[in-house]
Amino acid sequence: MASNDGPPRLYVSLALLPALVVAFAAYWYCCWLVVQGYPPLRIASLELAAVAVVALPAGVAVRRWTRQQHELHNDGLRKLPEPLDPRARDWIASALYGALVIPLSIGTLGVALTRVPIAVVAIAAFGGRAWRLVLVRRLPGLRSLTTIALSAAGLVVLATGPDATDTTVIALLLLAPMVRAAGGRAWDAISPSGRHKVAAIGWLTAAIVLQIAGLVRGEIFGDAPLRSTLAIAAPLCVLAGLALAAIARPAHRGVIGLSSAGTLLAVVLIGETWCGQTGATSTWIAAALVGIAILVEPPDLGDLKRL
């Protein structure tokens, strides 16, 4: 009998690459469309709050069903094992992550899209992600170090080019992945039972922080174009991409990770065409260097789960 982990699964993974690139590039474009009509921090807050409102009762329902199944198969024993029953420290860790980490990542992305071209934002974001390999892997190998060096070279080219008009925002984009990596490791140390069971509290906390930050910045809602309103559904693009990625077996996660390079190229092209932002030569060189860095060692989904 043929193994399910054989070469045919590799072809499935490769066939999914274009769909993943389309899904994630569409997400970037939708994010850009949203901030063209809505205040970036406050609209991000409402999106996170909506996700949390859906996720909280869903999590309660799942835990209730899990407890019923546990009682059924364990002679009425109601107490769930710790990995299935979040404790107070798990909720606290989620709230801290939502207050200190998520707003920096999501808030910086939204503000950056209003200040610098989308291509610059994407290059900085993808380049910064390469650096988190240092935190994910205690002893990075030659490929990891090559990835870091190439991405660093691309970011230097980007920072010295004419499109990098707001260096503060670019610096925050580079910092955000590192903060996520450090925050993720801290969360795992505090709450080793798993993040997904309490993630809704983190999203809700982040929504509150972003809403306050938007009010402090003086953000107000006004009349927005229809395309900005429709683009609020951008998270659906990410869900589609993650669903496609889940089809791949662990042996081919590296192949799926290659979609990051294609996504970066697609976003740069979107900036040139649909966003009407003509990029300088330095921006294209920076995109090429960061793209090569991704190809040298594409992000593995196992690493991403730890971040």
For the chain, what are the domain ranges?
39-75+85-305
- How far is the C-alpha of 128 from the C-alpha of 184, rounded, in Å? 16
| pLDDT (0 to 100) of residue 24 | 85
- How far is the C-alpha of 9 from the C-alpha of 252, rounded, in Å? 8
| pLDDT (0 to 100) of residue 29 | 93
The structure tokens listed for 232 are: 């609020």
Average pLDDT over residues 261-266: 92
| pLDDT (0 to 100) of residue 137 | 55
* Cβ pair 111, 208 in contact under 8 A: no
> pLDDT, tens digit, for every residue of 180-217?
878 888 887 777 665 666 788 999 999 999 999 999 99
| pLDDT (0 to 100) of residue 2 | 42
> pLDDT, tens digit, for every residue of 249-262?
554 556 666 788 89
Helix ranges restricted to H, 118-198: 118-131, 133-136, 142-159, 167-190
Average pLDDT over residues 92-113: 92
| pLDDT (0 to 100) of residue 109 | 92
Give the end-to-end CA distance of the chain in Å, rounded to a whole number.
Answer: 37
Give the side-chain half-sphere CA count within 13 A for 300: 13
Residue at token pair 């993040």: 195
> pLDDT, tens digit, for every residue of 1-36?
444 444 445 666 677 788 888 888 988 999 999 999
CA dihedral 87, 48, 30, 158 (to 10 degrees): -70
What global pTM score does this model have? 0.84
Nearest one of 25, 289, 262 to 158, comparing CA atoms: 289
| pLDDT (0 to 100) of residue 38 | 95
Q: Please provide the average confidence, as pLDDT, over all residues in the chain.
A: 81
* Cβ pair 78, 67 in contact under 8 A: yes
| pLDDT (0 to 100) of residue 76 | 57
- Helix (H, G, I), strand (E, B), or coil: what is residue 297? coil
In this predicted model, which residue has the larger pLDDT, 85 or 158? 158
* Cβ pair 143, 298 in contact under 8 A: no
Cα–Cα distances (Å) from 176 to 40, 44, 211, in that order, read: 17, 16, 19
Q: How confident is the model at residue 90 (pLDDT cuts 50, 70, 90)?
A: confident
| pLDDT (0 to 100) of residue 133 | 61
| pLDDT (0 to 100) of residue 299 | 61
Average pLDDT over residues 74-102: 76
> pLDDT, tens digit, for every residue of 139-182?
567 877 888 889 889 999 999 999 998 888 888 888 888 888 78
| pLDDT (0 to 100) of residue 181 | 79
Cα–Cα distances (Å) from 145 to 130, 137, 151, 293, 297, in that order, read: 9, 11, 10, 10, 10
